[in-house]
Structure 1
Amino acid sequence: MKRIFHIHEAPIIIFTLVVTVLFAVISPDFFHFDNAKLILDQNISMFIVAIGMTMVILLGGIDLSVGSVLALTATSVGLFLSHGISPWLASLMGVCIGMLCGAVNGYFIAVRKIPDIIVTLATMYIFRGIAVGISGGTWMTNFPEGFRFFGQGELLGMSFPLLVAIILIAIFIYLLKGTRAGRRIYAIGGNGSAAKLAGISIAKTKFTVYVLTGLLVGIASVIFASKVGSVQASTAGNSLSFEVMAAVLIGGGSIFGGVGTVAGTMIGVLFMGMIKNGLIISKVSPFWVDATTGFLIILAISINTIQRVRQSKSKEGDLV
């Protein structure tokens, strides 16, 4: 039992199970397979974007612009489609735009050494403004039939967007845990000065992480636009930055860097999706959904913090 509680993701796993049982008791519909599928389906884009935010927070950084990058990328894809470009090429071009946005952030943060919160706060407005400007403030709609596959299609009997998310999650779990590049990210977030002395290129690693985050947001934006069937540049992804940051912290990440896992973040995303779905099914007034979600987020993060404090004390005791 002690070994179970020493697992990094143990608190949020237990808390998620408790919340699941609670909502299942309140509303039997919550535990149905169709509802579980709905929760996953509604949060696919968030799962993908949260992978990138995990890497950013592991560096001890922050990215406030991911919602605006999603809006710009999705709007651009909509414009490409409206000009007769094929869905596959339009989607690829959209992903490239996402990477370009990530490169802009990475350049000013890693190369010019401007604080990430300032850069991403500025680009949050810049990218959103460009999205609204190129769309003329109108909705992007009437996407061609072939484009729907990215958000609503099936492959090998499985939801295509869910399959994409699973593959990306597996890739980045391996990247962070099983490669030198992943260990560099943890090292920089844990102790930047020591990482620099060890010969790790902090600028290169940071730049790469922001570009990868842009790539992931680009993929998520294609799925988002295809699934929803329309894009409004001024509102798309408005709260995405804060939601994915909350998911990382709920999943055991530390805002100071060096602590967290992709697996923990995915549980955090699932936890937040379950809360919103469960409250709606339980017929809680929509005016209380955000407040209740915020309270449960604080509770989950507090449990994770207590676990980390206990683990650090345990390690200190072993050294003594």
Structure 2
Amino acid sequence: MKRISNVHEAPIIFFTLVVGILFAIISPNFLQMGNVMQILEQNISTFIVAIGMTMVILLGGIDLSVGSVLALTATSVGLFLSNGMPPWLASLLGIAIGIACGAFNGYFIAVMNIPDIIVTLATMYIFRGLAVGISGGTWMTNFPEPFQFYGQGHILGISFPLIVAVILIISFAFLLKFTRFGRRIYSIGGNKAAAKLAGISLTKTKFMVYVYSGMLVGIAAVIFASKVGSVQASTAGNSLSFEVMAAVLIGGGSIFGGIGTIAGTMIGVLLMGLIKNGLVIVKVSPFWVDATTGFLIILAIVINTLQYVRQNKRKEGDLI
């Protein structure tokens, strides 16, 4: 029990299990395999984008533009397909656009040293405006059948987008925990001044984190467009930024940086997916979904703040 309590993700795991059990008691259909798979597949794009947001928040940063990047990328892919481009090439170019958007953010944040909240607030409007502009405000629809595989296909009976998400989750969890780049992210988020004195390049690390985030949004956008079968530039990914930030915070990430894991974030996404699905199954008004998510965000921030204050007091006590 002591080992379990020391696991960083223990509280969110426990809370997720409690929520799952409560909904299962209310509705016996909740834990059926078909419904569980539906929850996972409905949140594939959120899982993928949340990986990048985890790294951004670990740096002590924020990215308000991911929803707009998804809209721009998905809209661009739709335009490429409507002009007869092969699905694989359209998808690769879409991911490249996501990387370019991440590099754009990273340049102004890391190189020009402009606060991330200002840069990403601006690019949130820029990228969304570009998406609406290139689409003319019309829906992107009638995607070719081969393209549908990326969001709806199966390999050996397993959902292809779910396979992609699992590979990305494992890869970036490994990157954060076992590579020098991952240790640099934690170091910068934990103490920028100390990281700089240790010879860590803040500029390069920050820039690459936003590039990775853009790439992940690009992949999520391709899956999103393929799965939904249509894209509306003005609304696609509208609430995505706040959902993935909420997942990171609910999963144990700290708004002050340096604390958090990919595993915790994934459980945070899963918890929000469980709540949304459960409320729908028990026929609660969808308006309560947003209210519940907002409450969870506030709760997570309060817990994070209390943990941060407690840790600082411990450090001060050790120094004394």
Under TM normalisation by the shorter chain, which class is it? Answer: over 0.9
Alignment of 1:217-256 (within 5 A): 217-256=217-256
Calculate the TM-score normalised by the size of structure 2. Answer: 0.95
From the superposition, tell whether residues 311 and 115 of structure 1 become closer, same or farther in structure 2 (CA, over 3 Å).
closer
Partners of 2:115 and 2:301 lie apart in 1 by: 25
Alignment of 1:295-310 (within 5 A): 295-300=295-300, 302=302
**Partners of 1:73 and 1:221 within 8 A in 2:** yes
Q: Which residue of 2 aligns with 1:184?
A: 184
**Partners of 2:252 and 2:260 within 8 A in 1:** yes
Partners of 1:271 and 1:300 lie apart in 2 by: 13
Structure 1 letter corresponding to 2:103: A
Report whether the alignment pairs 1:59 with 2:76: no
Shift of 1:311: 7.4
Partners of 2:113 and 2:319 lie apart in 1 by: 37
Alignment of 1:269-288 (within 5 A): 269-288=269-288
| Per-residue Cα deviation, 1:209-255 (whole angstroms, up to 9, x for no partner) | 00000000000000000000000000000000000000000000001
Q: Which residue of 2 aligns with 1:292?
A: 292
Partners of 1:318 and 1:199 lie apart in 2 by: 26
| Per-residue Cα deviation, 1:45-95 (whole angstroms, up to 9, x for no partner) | 000000000000000000000000000000000000000000000000000
Shift of 1:291: 1.3
Equivalent residue pairs, number = 320
Q: Which residue of 2 aligns with 1:193?
A: 193
Alignment of 1:126-275 (within 5 A): 126-275=126-275
Shift of 1:112: 0.4
| Secondary structure, aligned partner of 1:28 | coil
Partners of 1:52 and 1:131 lie apart in 2 by: 21
Partners of 2:240 and 2:181 lie apart in 1 by: 27
| Secondary structure, aligned partner of 1:277 | helix
> What is the root-mean-square deviation in Å for CA atoms of aligned residues?
1.8
Taking only the aligned residue pairs, the percentage that are identical comes to: 80
Structure 2 letter corresponding to 1:240: L
Q: Which residue of 1 aligns with 2:99?
A: 99
| Secondary structure, aligned partner of 1:256 | coil
Shift of 1:28: 1.1
**Partners of 1:250 and 1:304 within 8 A in 2:** no
Partners of 1:298 and 1:113 lie apart in 2 by: 29
**Partners of 1:252 and 1:301 within 8 A in 2:** no
Q: Which residue of 1 aligns with 2:2?
A: 2
Q: Which runs of 4+ in 1 moved over 3 A?
A: 296-320
